[in-house]
Amino acid sequence: MRVKRWARIIPAVIAVCIVSLTAPVSDAAYSPPYQTLRIGFNYGSSALPSANLQNVNGLGQGYDFGYYNSSRSFVSIGAWTGESRISMMMDRNMSWNAGVGGGAGEYREGTSGDVVIGCYHVQLSSSYNTFDAAKAEAARHSNAFVRYESDRFLVLIGRYTSRNAANSAISSLGLSGATVNAGTGNTITVAKTGTNTILFEFDKGSTPLGVRPRPIRNEKPVTVFKERQYFGGFQYDRRSGALITVVNFVDTESYVKGILPYEMSNSWPLEALKAQACCARTYALSMLNRHNSDGFDLCNTAHCQVYRGRGSSNSRTDQAVDETAGKYITYNGSLCQTYYAASNGGASESIENVWTAALPYLKGVIDPYEADIASTASKYYWSVKYTPAQITERLRNRGYNCATIVSIVVTQYTPTGNVHTVTMTDANGKKWTFSKRAALITALGVITQRFNIGGASGTPAPASLYANDPAEQLDQSSQYYAVDSSDTAQTVPRDSMYAIDDAGDVSAVTGGSSASSSSGSGTGLVDGVFTINGTGNGHLVGLSQWGAYSMARYHNKNYVEIIKFYYTGVDVG
């Protein structure tokens, strides 16, 4: 965009306005490749020796056993249980430990305790084509259960802690043709929780066990895992041949309902919640298979998105999801990476100035809406202080062989006024430069890239400003003015300016490059201390959650308007 040149009687005459466009309800639709997401709960170092499930009263009655196919559909093998509390565990010698594993208790490897499940079983000689046929045979024996192995059903007896004990049982029971079955590294044993009663065993090679809650009438079943309630089914995978990776297979909309109240307060305005629901839904699909090497799409932590099921959802959050169901944020027909953070401190940031390569829809914007919530948003204003000795020690602890730091200055701002580069100088005159989010956090421990050094608290220094073209930089030592409807010149703040071009488009006045230079005067040292004052909380990329709150509550913006303000040139549909 080229900005019209105004009369030079005043240093710069710039029309200042905040755009309020009437946004459509939706645009072009996006069709996801799957309707079911795989959400990892426990994996890697957090994988479990056993995992409990419990039906929620009135919303489930027992479980079906099977597996999930490549289309993420549950394939029943006809096996089931009517028990409401079950535990999936490694097929090893396991003992019950009450009060651990989230308070409900869990099975752990070992043979101490009153409740022990041994991993050696007596296998009868016959196999069966159906679960019901095998179950009928198992009912004729004490302590017998059905095992699914290699697409056939077997009947196993007992739960012995040694092979010798199992062989002795074969002799004492007079079971001709019986053998000892000790399972494999893929076997999952299912027991009635807290007891030594084995309900079922599953071993289909590298295909993990799938467990789906059985509904009561037409009610959508809900299951408790680690004291939280979830929709969908579960998968149990002994990927390392030992501990169990737990994955929730859940439809997209139920997943978003389990995210929304943990990423945004369930009491916030409906339109803000709807914007967040679209962002969460879009982010999930844009990051599909992010954890594919672990056997699922996304984890349930802030590394992906915080997902904790039904606990904090309410009618408002469910309404926000239902009213935006199936709506995604796209750019030129492709799904967007919809990053979001708590607040931006007054301006979001282009992704290339924070992490990675540029994306056309993740451009920094001046955010006037956060001014309404600055005094109430959590951690909106923050400050970090260091003496020269402290900042020197911090750098040395992080591998920088520096002398005492005597100067810290911002040497490059982004067009939206956020910090791009900080330069430190030590007593020997050696300079140390830190650019973008990760390096600035490492060096200074800042919360955002929107800060000043050695100055007063509040708004950080503005970006370089331009008129007409990127080569014509405005003199920031001068005051700027706008002419109002009565032809009166009014002063305007230099860090939140907008201009209208001859096509009627309104844009923040910025430079043409991704980051602009600043000379960085002084040393940043005031009264013997480097004081860093900043605003905002998070990475600054994409949607500001507090900004969305302000737009919905104080400016009557709908969710599409909110989304289109923070993501440049996108469609919602």
Q: 3-state DSSP call for residue 52?
A: strand
For the whole model, what pTM was predicted?
A: 0.83
CB-based contact 273:316 (threshold 8 Å):
yes
Summarised one tens digit per residue, pLDDT across range 277-304 is 999 999 999 999 999 999 999 999 999 9
Assigned token pair, 495: 């860090």
Distances (CA, A) of 499 to 158, 200, 471, 514: 80, 69, 17, 19
Q: 3-state DSSP call for residue 157?
A: strand
Share above pLDDT 70 across residues of the chain, in percent, rounded to a whole number: 83
Q: How many CB atoms lie within 10 A of CB 518?
A: 19
Give the burial class of 556: count Cβ atoms within 10 A of its Cβ; 0-12 exposed, 13-18 middle, 19 or more buried. Answer: exposed
Give the burial class of 158: count Cβ atoms within 10 A of its Cβ; 0-12 exposed, 13-18 middle, 19 or more buried. Answer: buried
- Could you give the residue ranges of the DSSP H alpha helices within 174-314? 252-263, 270-286
> For residue 210, how far is the Cα from the chain centroid?
24
User: Where exactly are the structural domains of the chain?
Assistant: 38-251
| Residue-level pLDDT at 521 | 53
Q: Is the pLDDT of residue 464 over 60?
A: no
| Residue-level pLDDT at 113 | 85
| 72 Cβ contact list (under 8 Å, min separation 6) | 34, 35, 36, 38, 249
Q: Is the pLDDT of residue 383 over 60?
A: yes
Place of tokens 């009213």: 323
Assigned token pair, 212: 């789906």
Q: Which of the 8 DSSP states describes residue 487? A: S
| Residue-level pLDDT at 118 | 97
